[in-house]
Chain A
C-alpha cells in the first residue's frame, strides 16, 4: 500500500501550541507516511516530530481562512495546530485521520525506523524466559523448560518455551492445554526461593455446564504442590467474583472445584477489566483535562472515576498473592477468564513486591518482557486507542497502564527501592500505545514471529538502555532493598499519578528538573569528575 494515496497535502503553514504555557512554534507543516513534521525555518535542524500513530483523536474547526486542528494523543498530551487555509486544514486533518488509523503491522513505523547507534536485532537476543529459568534451576529442580509450544500449536498466545513442573510430561501439558481457555495451561510465573513456593498463572478451566474434569490438569497442579516446600498448600486466586466464575460455566468456562484439586483452595478477588476499566480511564482523563469545572468538586469527581479504587484492588490482590507465598508458604495460581489481563497484573505486581531483582532496571525490563509481552497480553488490541478516541471497540483496556500506575504507587511509597523512576514508567506507557520500536507490536509471540518483528524492527530495550537515556529513567536514590515491599493499600496512601494524568496542566516544578538536581548530588558519589557519567548496563543475554 502506498501512503502517498492517503496524504492529501504535503505542506502547509502552521502554528503549534503544545500546552497552556509552552511557547507557540510556527513553521512549515508536513505530513509524511508516519509523521507530522513542523520545521520552524526552511533548513532548521530542530524539527518538531509527531508519530501519527500516537494520535488518538482529531478535531478540526475552520473559521475565516484558517483552521484549527486539535490532536489528542494516546500519551494524553493535547496539541493544537493552527493552519493557514481552509482547504489545507481539511486536507491535513483527513491525512492524519487516515494515516493514524492504519492497522497493518508490517507497514507501521517500527519497520522503517533505523536510528543511529543501534543495530537491528541488538536486544532481541534478550530471552527473559530462558534466563529466568536458569535462575530457577539454581533454586530448585522441580521445574523444567518445555518446548511443547514450539510451533504455538498448543497455545497461540504463549511463547515457544514455558516453565512447567518437571514431573509433568509434554503429553500431559497438551491435554491440560485443551482443558484451559485459549490453551493457557498453568505455567510458572515466579519461584519464591525463600519459602520454596511457586506463583503460577493460567486461564480458566473449561469445566462447562457438565462439570468436566481433566486428569492431567489436576495432575499438573498436584505436581506443583509436590515440588514445593513439603506440606505446602495451594491457593487459587480467581480474579472474578464467585458468582461470575460460576456463571462462566454456562459458556464453557468455570473455576476449579475443591474436590478435583486436593490441597488447593480458591479465593475470589474480583478485579475490574475490559470495558469498565477503559471507561474508568476515559472518565479520569476527562476529569483531569476539564479545566472549566469547579475545582470544589475535584475530589468527589476523582472519586467517582474509580481509577484509584482499581489501583487499590489490583495492589491488594497482588499483596494477597505475595502474602500467600511469603507468609503462608503456599503456592499460588492466578487466573481470571482468559488469563491475559488482570492475571498478568496480579502476577507481575506480586513479583515486584517479593523479588528484589525485579526492581532493578534490567530485572524490571525482563519482568515486562516475560510477564506481559511474551505472556501474551494482547497489546495491539488493548492499546489500539487511548482515552480520547471516539472509535471504541470492545477490546481496549488500560490494564498495562494500571500495572504501571501500581508500580508508580510502589515507587512513591518506597522511594529508594526501585532502581528505575517515573521516567521509565512514562516511557513504557507511551511506547505501549505508539512507538517507533517493535517491542509492543502485535498481540502474541506467534504474531510477532509471523510479522518478523524481531528481525525487522528495533527493540525498545536497546533504545532505552542507551546511556543518554539513563538519567531520565533511573532512580538516583536507589539502594538494593532485599526485603519484600508491603505497600499500604489504604485509599489514603494512594495518589493520583500526577506526572501522567496531569501532564497537560503544567506542574510547578517539573519532576525532571528535580531529578536532575538529585542526580547531581548523587552521582558525585561515583565519579571523581564533577560532571556525572552513567554507564548503561548491558541487557542480560
Chain B
C-alpha cells in the first residue's frame, strides 16, 4: 500500500491456495518420488521449463510428463506442485514463437485445455528444446492419432466399490414399477440391431409389438424410436424420448409411427392428448425438413400437442462457452462484468434448458399428459431435458447413487456422443462435433442445488469431479459414443468406473445439509434473476476469485456430516423406544416419523 498508493486492494496472499487444491484426489503419493503416479501410470520424460502463470508471472520449474498427466514442480519454492493436469483435458498444443523470436519467454508451447484454461511454457531457444516435449505431449494427449490406447485402459487402480455395478437397467426400471400392465421391457435391441445408439434394454408400450417397433424405427432419425424414460409412480404419466420423425420436404407420414404415439397416449386413460416437446427453436425444426427430418404435424398426429422449447444447437452452445472463456481467462473482465457476461448468452441458454425441463416436469407431475421429448437426433438436448425433468420429479436421482444412475441411464446408455462431444484422445480440436452439452447439464444441476441447498445428497465438489473426469480419460465411464461401442471395446471389463472412485470416498462428496424428502417435486426458478455464473467452476483457476481457504469450510462441513449421522442414529433409537412404548399402549394415532417431519434423513 505504501509503495503503490494507486494499486487496488489485492488478495495476493491467497493466490497459492489454488495450486494446493489442484492436486487432491485419491492418488497414493510416494514422498520419495517427484511425481505422484497411479497404478499403471508410467513416466515418460521431464524437462526444465518456465511456466508462464497468468496470475503470478513466470515460474521456473520442472515439468514431468507421464502417460496420464503433466505435472509441474517449482525449482525455487517448496515442494508444492504447481500443476497436475491430466493429459486428457488438453484440446490443443501450439508452438509459440520461433527459434529466432526475441523477447523473454517468447519461445515455447501454448496448451489449450478443455477445462477453461490455457497453459504456457517457455523453453530455451537453443537446440529445438521444445521439440521432444511437443511430440511427447501430442502423442500422449492425443493417443488415438498415434494408435495408442487411452489411459483408462492402462489404469490399474482398485477401489472398494465397483462403479460398474451402480447401474442395472432392470433394477432401475423395477424401482420405477416396471414392467406393468401398460409397459413392457423388450430385448429387441439386444444386439443393437434395431438402433445402434440405444441401449440393449428398452421399455415400450405393452400393446406395441416388436414388429411395430421395427416399422416405427424406419421413420425416426437414426432409428431412435420413442421409449420410456420415466413413469410417474402415482398418476402413471410418462416421459418418453426419441429423435425427430423423418418427415422431410414432402411431408411424409408413417401410419405406424402415428399409431405408436397414440398407443403411448392410451397407456393412460385419462389423457386426451400426448404432449410433444420439440427442444429446438421452431425455425430449426422446419429447416431440418430439408435434410429429411422435421416434426409431428397436427394433421398427421391427431391426439398430440406440439411445443417448441427454443433451445439452440450444439454449435451455438460451443460458441457461447468460448465467449465465457474469453471473459474469464486468463483475466476476468472487470468493468461491466455483468454486461459482458450477458453478451456470452451462456446463462440465457441455461435458462432455456431449465425452463424446458420445468415444463416437462410440470406436465407429468400434474398428471394431465404424458410427454414425448425429442430434438433432432435425441441425444443432446433431449438427454438434457429428460434427465433434468427426472431430477426435478424423482428425489431418488438427487442422492449420490441416484444421480450416477441418472447419468448412466439418460446420458451414457442412451448414446449421448461423449467421444464426439468431448473428443477424448482426439487431436482435432476444431471438430464441429465438439460441444459442452453435458457441462451445460451439470451447470443446470448446480443451479438447482444452489436454489435448493438441502435437496441434494451431493455437493459442488461431486459435480466438479464429474466434470474433471469427463475429460481426464482416467476412467472408462464417459468413453465412446454409445453402449454398443462400449460393449465392443469391453469397457466395463478393461477400465475402471468413475463411480468406483466416488463411491469409495462418498463422504468427500456429501452435502451436510441434505434432507431427504420423498415425493417432493423441485421447481427451480429459471429466471435470469435467480441464475448465476458458476464461478467456482468457470473461474476456479483465478486466485483472485478465491475467498477463503477451502479447508476450514470443508472441515466444518465434515464435522456437520458426523453430527448429522449421530443425530439420525439417536433419532432412530428414539423412534425405536417410542414405537416400543406405542406398541405397549397401542393408542397413539401418530407414528413417530410423523412427529418429526423434517428429519427423515437416511443413509
A binding-site residues for B, Cβ under 8 Å: 233, 235, 265, 267, 288, 295-300, 302-304, 308, 316-317, 319-320, 323-324, 327-328, 330, 413-417, 477, 479, 481, 485-493, 495-496, 498, 502, 505, 507-509, 514, 516-518, 520-522, 524-525, 530
Contact = CB atoms under 8 A, between A and B. Distances in A.
Interface string B538-573: 010000111110001100100010011011001100
Contacts of B524: 508
B451 interface: yes
A404 B514 CA distance: 29
A328 B4 CA distance: 12
A503 B529 CA distance: 12
A233 B3 CA distance: 13
5 contacts: A233-B2, A509-B453, A520-B599, A522-B563, A530-B567
Contact of B553 (A415, A488, A493, A530): A415
Contact of B547 (A316, A477, A488): A488
A252 B435 CA distance: 64
Given A299-B338, A530-B574, A328 B1 contact: yes
A460 to B, nearest CB: 29
Interface of B: 1-2, 5, 8-9, 11, 13-14, 328, 332, 334, 336-339, 341-342, 347-348, 351, 451-455, 512-513, 515, 522-525, 527-530, 532-533, 535, 539, 544-548, 552-553, 556, 560, 563-564, 566-567, 570-571, 574, 596, 598-599
Contacts of A299: 338-339, 341-342, 347, 528
Contact of A505 (B2, B14, B351, B527): B527
Contacts of B13: 486
A327 B455 CA distance: 42
A325 B454 CA distance: 40
Contact of A507 (B338, B351, B451, B570): B451
Nearest to B515: A517
A295 B526 CA distance: 11
A521 B2 contact: no
Contacts of A520: 567, 598-599
Contacts, number: 151
Contacts of B351: 295
A525 B348 CA distance: 43
A493 B529 contact: no
A530 B529 contact: no
A481 B552 contact: yes
A188 B555 CA distance: 37
Nearest to B513: A518
A299 B512 CA distance: 32
Contacts of A530: 567, 570-571, 574, 596
Nearest to A509: B452
B339 A300 contact: yes
A486 B13 CA distance: 10
A413 B337 CA distance: 19
Contacts of A517: 454, 513, 515, 598
Given A330-B2, A516-B598, A492 B328 contact: yes
A250 B598 CA distance: 65
Given A299-B341, A320-B9, A508 B523 contact: yes
A508 B451 contact: yes
Contacts of A319: 9
Contacts of A524: 563, 566-567, 570
Contact of B525 (A317, A330, A508, A522): A508
Contacts of A502: 529-530
A490 B334 contact: yes
A286 B536 CA distance: 30
Contact of A514 (B453, B529, B546): B453
A297 B342 contact: yes
A531 to B, nearest CB: 10
A514 B513 CA distance: 8
Given A235-B1, A486-B14, A509 B451 contact: yes
Contacts of A304: 339
B9 A514 contact: no
Contact of B528 (A233, A296, A493): A296
> What are the 5 closest A-B residue pairs judged by CB atoms, nearest first?
A299-B342, A413-B547, A303-B338, A491-B337, A319-B9
Given A297-B342, A299-B338, A320-B9, A490 B332 contact: yes
A433 B528 CA distance: 29
A210 B392 CA distance: 71
Contact of A414 (B548, B560, B566): B548
Contacts of B552: 416, 479, 481
A235 B4 CA distance: 13
Contact of A265 (B2, B512, B528): B2
A116 B52 CA distance: 67
Contacts of A489: 9, 11
